[in-house]
């Protein structure tokens, strides 16, 4: 397999963005932007989308690929965070619960409901405590379409089949699943469609105040060219590297705002046929999930431990692998073996350092801090946060931007769909059937995959094709030239890894090195056409 491990390398001490494609306008270098954002993870692109939609001029720079770090290494859930109730994070949980149906409606192709089965383990939390937590979960978040909690008899329910027989009772509740990397790129695409400049593979090499403006030096990592832009407000959304921006670019050598916490996952061959996911409690008080993944696999995670190294080098440890295997063995009647593992990925969460004694007790809430004297341009830093609340974080950030440079528009993202998501949240199946009827030459699995990734924009990939041959060269499985060109043109994909492991997850099934080499060579040949001279 080409990519056995995914590493979090979202942003280093200088973020950046890729040269714009032919469908984008190059930087107007002589005109100051209202807002310049460092970081192409979910928070950065969410802020860019919200800000440009209110009328601000916006540029975003990402040093690598969109969602190349923390934002593609989550457990891929839109959830309230049931366990956060134990730490009395009621505001965070309520806000997250309220976002579930908002985000589902925004992007029903990449977000959908998922039922979770929580087997009662007599050696962990008592049943009465779980019932209280689930009662709060059902009632404090404005749930309308998601079904509520039920109690299961595992002796008679199919959810009990893969579990050890002594698990007799379980609770079933609702959250949502999200394709996290696609959530990032669709926010970026929508921001760009509304006028924002989104660049990847560009490094921020200089940040300095000049009067009432920021001067930002940029280096294109693909062409080697340098340029400078100016902005009235600077947003530091560099994720695990947020302190590096302050230290290296601004000289704040004693800065310490975030606690880096590693979360690792394993992906195994499909462990169970039930469409529901499992929420498991471990004997050490921690929790982990086993989730149906990409149809043929099961995702198990996550771990929670402090991380001291460079975030770009994070990989799963043998200790973490053993932890997840042994934890799963407590529940599944058929143990997980190392030989079952087909992929692992690790990410570093930049949690706000609230002084908690354990990594799993550190707050998942976000903190926004504005810096700058009254006569100086403002720098606004983001510490912490979680993918579920990214849209609300963006709204909070826009309040600080308004304080810094004035108001230009009202909140608008609630109720606005993302690219490809312009259909009713409950109508995915009927929309898919319509797509299949339009292009009957597509195999059902291929049509499903395209519509799940791109929604209504899948038609832009298939266009006027009348046969599979019309989609061009095949790079393995059902990945075609037409899809790759779309990803390069519309979604900033620049390498085979971008396509296989962030845009599509086809890396799980395309394992022939010759296919991967053909894809890389094809993209390298096409790349100049997508770069501004």
pLDDT at 391 over 50: yes
Q: Which pLDDT score is estimated for 9?
A: 36
Is residue 265 located within the same domain as residue 369?
no
Q: Which pLDDT score is estimated for 357?
A: 63
| Percentage of residues of the chain with pLDDT beyond 70 | 92
**Range 299-326 average pLDDT:** 95
Whichever domain contains 53, its CATH number is: 3.50.50.60
Least confident of 363-372, 379-388, 462-471, 502-511: 363-372
Q: Which pLDDT score is estimated for 517?
A: 97
Bridge-based pairing state of the strands 169-178 and 77-78: antiparallel
pLDDT at 421 over 90: yes
Is residue 433 located within the same domain as residue 524?
yes
Whichever domain contains 514, its CATH number is: 1.10.8.870
Is residue 436 located within the same domain as residue 523?
yes
pLDDT at 21 over 90: no
Q: Which two tokens stand for residue 385?
A: 């946060």
- Residue 361 — very low, low, confident or very high, per pLDDT cuts 50/70/90? low
pLDDT tens column, 64-79: 999 998 999 999 999 9
147 assigned to some structural domain: yes
Domain count across the chain: 3
Whichever domain contains 159, its CATH number is: 3.30.9.10
Which among 4-8, 14-18, 492-496 has the top mean pLDDT?
Answer: 492-496
**Range 76-104 average pLDDT:** 90
Better-scored residue on pLDDT, 142 or 279: 279
Is residue 125 located within the same domain as residue 222?
no
Confirm if 218 and 61 have CB atoms less than 8 A apart. yes
359 assigned to some structural domain: no
**Range 425-436 average pLDDT:** 97
Q: Which residues contact 317 (CB under 8 A, 6 or more apart)?
A: 264
**Range 149-176 average pLDDT:** 96
380 assigned to some structural domain: yes
Q: Which two tokens stand for residue 79?
A: 């959830």
Confirm if 486 and 459 have CB atoms less than 8 A apart. no
* Separation between Cα atoms, residue 494 and residue 473, nearest integer Å: 17
Mean pLDDT of the chain: 91
76 assigned to some structural domain: no
pLDDT tens column, 226-254: 999 999 999 999 999 999 888 876 777 77
Instruction: Return the number of other C-beta atoms located less than 10 Å from residue 291's C-beta.
Output: 21
Is residue 485 located within the same domain as residue 500?
yes
Structural domain boundaries enclosing 338: 97-173+259-352
521 assigned to some structural domain: yes
Is residue 129 located within the same domain as residue 271?
yes
* Separation between Cα atoms, residue 263 and residue 306, nearest integer Å: 9
Q: Which pLDDT score is estimated for 250?
A: 74
Is residue 188 located within the same domain as residue 210?
yes
pLDDT at 17 over 50: no
Residues facing 78 on adjacent strands: 176
Tell me the three state secondary structure of residue 250: coil
77 assigned to some structural domain: no
Is residue 206 located within the same domain as residue 326?
no
Is residue 272 located within the same domain as residue 313?
yes
412 assigned to some structural domain: no
**Range 278-296 average pLDDT:** 94
Q: Which pLDDT score is estimated for 359?
A: 66
pTM: 0.93
Is residue 461 located within the same domain as residue 479?
yes
22 assigned to some structural domain: yes
* Separation between Cα atoms, residue 49 and residue 394, nearest integer Å: 9
Is residue 263 located within the same domain as residue 140?
yes
pLDDT at 2 over 50: no
Is residue 274 located within the same domain as residue 251?
no
- Residue 327 — very low, low, confident or very high, per pLDDT cuts 50/70/90? very high
């Amino acid at each position: 397999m080409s990519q056995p491990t995914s590493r979090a390398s979202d942003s280093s001490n200088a973020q950046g963005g890729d040269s714009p494609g032919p469908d984008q306008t190059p930087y107007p270098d002589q005109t100051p932007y209202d807002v310049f954002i460092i970081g192409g993870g979910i928070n950065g692109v969410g802020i860019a989308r919200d800000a440009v939609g209110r009328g601000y001029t916006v540029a975003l720079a990402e040093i690598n690929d969109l969602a190349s770090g923390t934002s593609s290494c989550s457990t891929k859930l839109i959830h309230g965070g049931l366990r956060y109730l134990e730490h009395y994070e009621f505001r965070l949980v309520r806000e997250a619960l309220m976002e579930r149906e908002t985000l589902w409606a925004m992007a029903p192709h990449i977000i959908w409901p998922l039922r979770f089965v929580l087997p009662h383990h007599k050696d962990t939390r008592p049943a009465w405590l779980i019932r209280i937590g689930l009662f709060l979960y059902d009632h404090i978040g404005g749930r309308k379409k998601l079904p509520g909690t039920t109690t299961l008899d595992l002796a008679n329910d199919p959810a009990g089949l893969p579990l050890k027989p002594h698990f007799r009772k379980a609770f079933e509740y609702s959250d949502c699943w999200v394709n996290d990397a696609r959530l990032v790129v669709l926010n970026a695409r929508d921001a760009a469609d509304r006028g924002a400049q989104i660049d990847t593979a560009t490094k921020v090499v200089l940040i300095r105040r000049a009067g009432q403006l920021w001067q930002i030096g940029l280096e294109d990592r693909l062409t080697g060219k340098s340029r400078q832009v100016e902005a009235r407000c600077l947003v530091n959304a560099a994720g695990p590297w947020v302190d590096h921006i302050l230290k290296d670019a601004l000289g704040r050598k004693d800065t310490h705002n975030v606690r880096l916490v590693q979360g690792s996952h394993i992906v195994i061959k499909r462990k169970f046929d039930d469409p529901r996911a499992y929420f498991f409690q471990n004997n050490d008080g921690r929790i982990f999930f086993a989730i149906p993944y990409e149809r043929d696999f099961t995702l198990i995670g996550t771990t929670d431990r402090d991380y001291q190294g460079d975030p770009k080098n994070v990989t799963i440890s043998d200790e973490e692998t053993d932890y997840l295997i042994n934890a799963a063995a407590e529940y599944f009647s058929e143990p997980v073996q190392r030989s079952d593992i087909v992929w692992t990925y690790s990410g570093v969460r930049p949690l706000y350092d609230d002084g908690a004694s354990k990594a799993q007790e550190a707050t998942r809430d976000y903190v926004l801090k504005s810096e700058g004297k009254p006569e100086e341009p403002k720098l606004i830093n983001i510490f912490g946060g979680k993918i579920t609340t990214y849209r609300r974080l963006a709204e909070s950030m826009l309040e600080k931007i308004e304080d810094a440079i004035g108001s230009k528009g009202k909140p608008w993202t609630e109720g606005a769909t993302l690219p490809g998501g312009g259909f009713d949240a409950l109508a995915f199946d009927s929309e898919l059937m319509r797509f299949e009827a339009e292009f009957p030459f597509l195999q059902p699995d291929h049509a499903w995959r395209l519509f799940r990734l791109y929604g209504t924009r899948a038609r832009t990939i298939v266009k006027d094709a009348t046969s599979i041959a019309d989609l061009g060269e095949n790079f393995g499985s059902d990945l075609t030239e037409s899809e790759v060109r779309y990803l390069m043109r519309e979604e900033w994909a620049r390498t085979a890894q971008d396509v296989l492991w962030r845009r599509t997850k086809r890396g799980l099934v395309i394992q022939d090195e010759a296919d991967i080499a053909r894809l890389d060579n094809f993209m390298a040949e096409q790349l100049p056409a997508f770069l501004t001279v």
